């Protein structure tokens, strides 16, 4: 009886099982204050939402506002809702890192909101417009604890044509409004050189991948890394 052609070959060797010892400690780098800005329609809100989903340890900076809560909004979760009088007192006391009035309502970012989370070791994410980003950069220069951890990212489509297509796809603005937004966007995009990183938007997945790469790169900087145990 003829042997099977495979009977003369030894059975394939199974790969050796390698036991990986559990890490002796968790490497904890210094927390980051990640600021993401973009022109209207640039996709910064979507990117920020994806970042928070991908990194549960990252915390969103909560803004104060004088506008009334909308249905479903919670104080201390969506915003800190303040009266106009309380907001003004905080402005006069210098509590805000940045504040502005939009359509009759005031908005402001408390220094304590950022410092409290950073001191707790949390990465903090800021979603602001270009004007707000400039104000925060300037204000952080007077706060070494913030300037040392601030990382700024400017997100924008590659061209005004792509941005226009995105704004039209929303189907929420009239043509005149879109043209006004584009005019403002051109001025905003001209500020990209003032940021640490320029992220040309392509797809949601690719924008997220590169944003995460920026976070990891900044965490590996020597100034933010714990010394090896040797």
Residues 104-117: tens digit of each pLDDT: 999 999 999 999 99
Specify whether 163 is located in the same domain as 187: yes
Average pLDDT, the chain: 87
The pTM score is 0.80
Which of 96, 121, 146 delimits the end of a domain?
121
Sheet holding 96-102, edge to edge: 80-81, 64-65, 105-110, 96-102
Specify whether 116 is located in the same domain as 132: no
| Domain annotation covers residue 26 | no
Specify whether 150 is located in the same domain as 181: yes
- Of the chain, the percentage scoring pLDDT greater than 90 comes to 64
| Domain annotation covers residue 186 | yes
Look up the CATH number of the domain holding residue 138.
Answer: 3.40.50.300
Cα 165 off chain centre by: 24
Residues 138-194: tens digit of each pLDDT: 999 988 999 999 999 999 999 999 988 888 887 767 888 888 889 888 999 999 999
Specify whether 90 is located in the same domain as 204: no
Specify whether 53 is located in the same domain as 90: no
Specify whether 91 is located in the same domain as 176: no
Specify whether 113 is located in the same domain as 205: no
Specify whether 103 is located in the same domain as 180: no
Residues of the domain holding 128: 32-58+123-220
Specify whether 69 is located in the same domain as 40: no
Specify whether 203 is located in the same domain as 117: no
| Domain annotation covers residue 228 | no
Which of 121, 147, 162 delimits the end of a domain?
121
Look up the CATH number of the domain holding residue 107.
Answer: 3.30.63.10
Task: Give CA–CA dist 141/126, Å, rounded.
Answer: 17
Specify whether 98 is located in the same domain as 157: no
Q: Give the model's pLDDT for residue 27.
A: 55
Confidence of residue 2 (pLDDT cuts 50, 70, 90): very low
Sign of the four-CA dihedral 69, 70, 74, 77: negative
| Domain annotation covers residue 23 | no
Structurally, how many domains does the chain consist of?
A: 2
Residues 63-103: tens digit of each pLDDT: 999 999 999 999 999 999 999 999 999 999 999 999 999 87
Phi/psi for 35 (5° steps) reads -105, 125
| Domain annotation covers residue 9 | no
| Domain annotation covers residue 167 | yes
Specify whether 169 is located in the same domain as 210: yes
Phi/psi for 128 (5° steps) reads -135, 160
């Amino acid at each position: 009886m003829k042997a099977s052609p495979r009977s003369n070959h030894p059975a394939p060797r199974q790969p050796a099982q390698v036991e990986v010892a559990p890490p002796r400690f968790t490497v904890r780098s210094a927390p980051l204050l990640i600021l993401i800005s973009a022109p209207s329609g640039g996709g910064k809100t979507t990117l920020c939402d994806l970042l928070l989903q991908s990194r549960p340890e990252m915390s969103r900076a909560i803004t104060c506002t004088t506008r009334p809560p909308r249905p479903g909004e919670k104080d201390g979760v969506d915003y800190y809702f303040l009266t106009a009088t309380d907001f003004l007192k905080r402005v006069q006391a210098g509590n805000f890192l940045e504040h502005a009035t939009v359509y009759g309502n005031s908005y402001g970012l408390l220094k304590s909101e950022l410092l409290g989370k950073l001191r707790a070791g949390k990465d903090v994410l800021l979603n602001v417009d270009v004007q707000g980003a400039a104000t925060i950069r300037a204000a952080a220069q007077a706060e070494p604890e913030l300037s040392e951890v601030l990382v700024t990212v400017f997100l924008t489509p590659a061209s005004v044509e792509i941005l226009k297509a995105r704004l039209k796809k929303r189907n929420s603005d009239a043509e005149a409004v879109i043209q006004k937004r584009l005019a403002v966007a051109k001025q905003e995009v001209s500020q990209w050189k003032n940021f640490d990183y320029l992220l040309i938007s392509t797809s949601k997945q690719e924008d997220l991948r590169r944003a995460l790469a920026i976070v990891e790169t900044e965490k590996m900087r020597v100034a933010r890394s714990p010394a090896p145990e040797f």
